[in-house]
Structure 1
Amino acid sequence: MGAAVADDGFDFTPGAQVPLTGTAGQTAATFALASAAYRDNEVAEILKANNEWHKSTVKEGRKWATIFRPNLGEAFSLAVRDRMLGAGRKSLIQSFGMEPQVVVEHCLAANRIRRERDNWLTAVMVLCGLLFLPGLLLWLLVFQIRTTVAKREDKRAGALATTLLVAMGALAVVVLVKMPFTGFWAWYARASLVLPVVGWFWAKQICERTAHDLRERWAGLLAGGGVGVKIPEVVPGSPNESKAEQLRQELHRLSAEQRSNLVFYAGPKGVLGMGTRWGSWQLAEDLVPADPSKEIHPFRSWDVIRSIHDQLRMLERGPLNTGGFPPPSIKHWIVSPIGEGAGEVSRPENTDVEAYQFKTHAIQEICNKQQFGSGNRHYLGVQWTLWDGQLIITMMITVTVLHQTLRIEVTGHALGPVHGLFTTKPTAKEKTVQKSMRFWETRTVKLPLVGTDEVVRLTARAPLTAYPPLLNWLGGSLALPEPFGMRHAWADQPWRHRFMADDALRAATPVLRVVHSAAIKVLEENGVDTEKFGARSSFLSSAVQDPAPRKADLYDA
């Protein structure tokens, strides 16, 4: 067992590219997460989106270099790019109800926009900063002290920080007017104090232009996704462009892994990507011949599963024209157990697997033989993607036969909407101040989109963006939760939303009854006495109407 590589039987040859996961209209979760690549909030804001099982962390940089700290969009887009496309990356968890490739493409686009901005800022830094290094270091020291002081909880700290900056400006004016020495070095000293300030005004224009572009993309995604993505770096212009070809193959690999039929069960965390198990119903009775003079006709678990599969395809039909179920996704899953605290997962590489998917004969063999002891297990899953991709309801069915007992187990899993942090739209930067004359009244003042400190931060970071490890060491970075899947990492519980909770609970009863009726039909066809199965099925049909979801994976033992 090990992490799959890019050529694991998957065809990376060029061709027409079409979406292979999700359906039309299921874009809310995709665009909400993609918008994070364009945001300009503090990076620590993403910690609010942590859920019970999966927690992002912010790796702090050097305390003396807070001027190099990233914002949320910078840290998110780099972290997602490196985790999803980086060389030697670990296996990923599927993101149901969304297109992770679209999020990655927006992260690449955001990085490209920022890289173009940083190229201009680097030129500004060289012309107005590095050539006049003494003055640049002095101004950066002042801003670093100002930033450190302003972060203190003391209310007087902000005023003190501003006073420090004003005092530095006054000192610069004094030095310009009355220089203690003459000649070349006098003019160089004057230029060292003035040119960094000129560069700041130049840099501000560049930063403002890029900030407007990023915010328009952020708002456009949340308004419906009418935002074009340009990532020319993934389109090889010639056979010699190995980096672009590798990036293109990694995107194809991401799509292939998204379609994998192998999922991982992490104990109380549930099936990773599908959410925790909120309900479980089991029908288990002995296989007794209907006619005592005859033996039961031999059958296998796969025969029962196949009958259930065929009947589940009829769920969208009903006797009344009431809307009912939308067409579900019905799929055979191979479930692999991992530890609750596992830091990574691995996908098998053997003849039974092709392009991250178990072949049909391997699925049947696991269904019929691996029912007790170690190894993977087979489940039949029926899944609905609802609320524009914000709610994932999955019912998992497994059939086992041990000695003379046939057991049919149906479990419910639900994955809720992405955290509200990702659905917040950009707001104008403003503050409320007292009126000068009528001091008992207040007024709202619009602030610049890119403030003084932000211009300095972006300009200071620009030359280092060409080497991200050094920049991350200085300013810090975002660490994603492992095992990483883009959808479940920032998902809320659906039970806080009344209608989402109703949808999850309502799906259980019809599925359970279809599963039982299909299984009993197979038993009758093979000469099994189904009286006890029918009685047990009726009892479960009553029990499933209990409206309370539970943490079914937390055993009180």
Structure 2
Amino acid sequence: MSALDDLRNAAGIDFDFGPGAQVPLSGAGTGHSGMSQALASVAYRDDPPEAIKEPNDAASVKKGKFTLLEPNLGEAFTRAVETRMLADGRKPLVQSFGADPQTVVEHALSAKRIRKQRDRRLTLIMGIFGVLFLPGVLIWLGLFQLRRTFAGSQGRQAGFLGTLTLVAIAALIALLVIRVPLGGPIRLYVWSMLPAPIIGWYWAKQISERTAKNLRAHWADLAGGGGSGAMIPEAVPQNPNDKEAERLRVGLAKLAAEQHSNIVHYAGPQGILGMGVRWGSWQLAEELVPKDPTREIDPFRAWDVARAIHDQLRMLERGPLHTGGFPTPSIKHWIVRHVGEGAGEISRPSGDTADSYSIGNIEVQRICNEQQFDSGDRHYVGVQFVLWDGELVLSMMISVTVLHHTLRIEVTGHALGPIHGFFRQGPAGKTKEIRDPVKFWKMKKVPLPLVDAKEVVRLAARAPLTWFPAKLDAYGGTIALPEPFGLRHTWAGKPWRHRFMADDALRAATPVLRVAHAAAFKVLEENGVDISKFEGRSQALGGAVQAAEPRKADEYNM
């Protein structure tokens, strides 16, 4: 079986060729949530690219050579997501617990497809007028570039001197064109150089306005938690030689396989990337003493205790009373790797012990039994609750260590809060205030077109270069996403400002702690260990955890 087959199986995706292949829909089979849709809404936005710094100022905007070619937020975000998450040789990604990264990527590809359809038409217009009336088009582009240079790219006014300079240059050019010493058809052609591009501009404006309304409709639906799945027919290979479609399909398969990896990374005070900071920690450490002094303890391993805890945690959603309670949690054996605070990159497993993007089961058991001290990865049993439609991710991580005669069971709580409110913002209509012609003492708002004159020129200038994305990045600029990048944790806040989210985090600790202890004690008792000291310590912890308060447990007050 090839590496590609391993990825396909890990991602749960079947690859078919031919016209009958199904068009991928975002969230198909993954239970996509409103969280994923809110994140995906950025791909359809038309804000300035600097807006990406509002939810996380670690994101950066790299300016290009020409402000006339700079992207808006949706264009830049789409390009950044596609490059960062689908490109060959990309850096590893942090898992997005509580969100579906494939949904976001597919919507980015869908937004790119909508824009590409617009850009084909704009390129045709630029081809017609750029060939027939090239001097006039260049003059108009030059004037708009000068205006953006004077005013900046954020829609500010050019200022009195800037406006005066532009008017003077435009008047001088018009005078030169009118007084050109030519006659006959050539003179008519020269005279038509300046007005002819205006016809092309008007045609381009109609196309751009329709596309802007389409993109804003998707933005509004997704930011509100609704919207339909993203259709990306270009990701369906029509034949075995369709390399671009196959590249997209393989990239999506890698993304899904990486999302299901069993290795996470501890970044010091930043906590576990993707799971949040550690807000609480409870340790039980007692000596292993035989229950019968005349015989030795039956040999057992840390894995036996960890596996018993894993199995017993599956019963968390059941209780003696029909009062709701826990939803079905995700329970998994995790391998935690230390990367340090401020790390710019994470690593993925490789070698014979790796299975796709995960650590193999035999290696997981070995790490649990042998790597409990000194350098190396560590094993944890994790129980995770994704609540509030993905806005809150609670992770309780349990480790079992045996050093000399001491068995230690540590339970830690991690919490990842809701995403920034920026992602829930819907599109605002463009309006301006004018004086009411009848009730002249009042002002009223009137709607404006979504695409104004300078935006049409920007789109038309960018359109031919969209077939050369690397060049367009250099000329127009890009945005760089914060590293190590993951769609969920990058934009997350703290849950402690939300009363009910904080309550949910605190309430989950006590039952998880007690289930972990009960499962461990059962294994100890079966192997002839005196559990009286363990039970006494467990009762003390059971009382302490009831008064759990969130704290910066990873900083040790140092």
Q: Same fold by TM-score, threshold 0.5 exceeded?
A: yes
Q: CA deviation at 1:134?
A: 2.2
Q: CA deviation at 1:400?
A: 0.2
CA contact (8 A) 1:175 1:190 kept: no
Secondary structure at 1:129's aligned position in 2?
helix
Matched residue, 2:473? 472
Mapping 1:92-491, distance limit 5 Å? 92-151=93-152, 157-158=158-159, 181-435=182-436, 441-491=442-492
Secondary structure at 2:337's aligned position in 1?
strand
Distance 2:450 2:225 in 1: 24
Matched residue, 2:54? 48
* Structure 2 letter corresponding to 1:77: T
TM-score, normalised with respect to structure 1: 0.91
Matched residue, 1:58? 61
Distance 2:415 2:434 in 1: 47
Distance 1:518 1:381 in 2: 14
Q: CA deviation at 1:385?
A: 0.8
Matched residue, 1:32? 38
CA contact (8 A) 2:49 2:73 kept: yes
Q: Quick one: structure 1 residues 427 and 160, their matched pair in 2 at CA, closer, same or farther if it must change by over 3 Å? A: farther
Report sequence identity in percent. 58
* Structure 1 letter corresponding to 2:53: L
Deviation string 1:355-391 (CA, Å, 9 cap, x unpaired) is 2222222211111111011111111000011111111
**Structure 2: gaps (5+ residues):** none
Q: CA deviation at 1:165?
A: 6.1
Secondary structure at 1:29's aligned position in 2?
helix
Deviation string 1:497-547 (CA, Å, 9 cap, x unpaired) is 221121111111111111122222222222222222222222222222335
Distance 2:302 2:28 in 1: 30
Q: CA deviation at 1:394?
A: 0.6
Q: Quick one: structure 1 residues 227 and 23, their matched pair in 2 at CA, closer, same or farther if it must change by over 3 Å? A: closer
Q: Quick one: structure 1 residues 140 and 152, their matched pair in 2 at CA, closer, same or farther if it must change by over 3 Å? A: closer
Distance 1:413 1:155 in 2: 45
Distance 1:216 1:8 in 2: 38
Distance 1:512 1:23 in 2: 33
Matched residue, 2:555? 554
Matched residue, 1:530? 531
Q: CA deviation at 1:111?
A: 0.8
Q: CA deviation at 1:474?
A: 1.5
Deviation string 1:221-280 (CA, Å, 9 cap, x unpaired) is 234433242222211111221222222112111111111111111212211111111111
CA contact (8 A) 1:26 1:388 kept: no
Q: CA deviation at 1:460?
A: 0.8
CA contact (8 A) 2:271 2:554 kept: yes
Secondary structure at 1:279's aligned position in 2?
strand
Secondary structure at 2:269's aligned position in 1?
helix
CA contact (8 A) 1:74 1:111 kept: yes
Deviation string 1:81-137 (CA, Å, 9 cap, x unpaired) is 111111111222111122111111111111111111111111111212343222222
Distance 1:159 1:445 in 2: 26
TM-score, normalised with respect to structure 2: 0.91
* Structure 1 letter corresponding to 2:64: G
Q: Quick one: structure 1 residues 220 and 283, their matched pair in 2 at CA, closer, same or farther if it must change by over 3 Å? A: same
Q: Give me the CA root mean square deviation.
A: 2.8
Q: Which stretch of structure 1 is more off in the superposition, 375-384 or 311-320?
A: 311-320
CA contact (8 A) 1:30 1:102 kept: yes
Q: Quick one: structure 1 residues 499 and 294, their matched pair in 2 at CA, closer, same or farther if it must change by over 3 Å? A: same
Q: CA deviation at 1:60?
A: 1.5
Q: Quick one: structure 1 residues 208 and 451, their matched pair in 2 at CA, closer, same or farther if it must change by over 3 Å? A: same
Q: CA deviation at 1:300?
A: 1.2
CA contact (8 A) 1:289 1:528 kept: yes
Q: CA deviation at 1:19?
A: 10
Give the number of equivalent residue pairs: 549
CA contact (8 A) 2:48 2:154 kept: no
Matched residue, 1:516? 517
Q: CA deviation at 1:163?
A: 6.0
Matched residue, 2:85? 84
CA contact (8 A) 1:419 1:490 kept: yes
Distance 2:80 2:477 in 1: 11
CA contact (8 A) 1:8 1:349 kept: no
Whether 2:73 is the aligned partner of 1:72: answer yes
Q: CA deviation at 1:429?
A: 0.9
Distance 2:396 2:407 in 1: 19
Distance 1:177 1:68 in 2: 30
Distance 1:57 1:511 in 2: 40
Secondary structure at 2:467's aligned position in 1?
coil
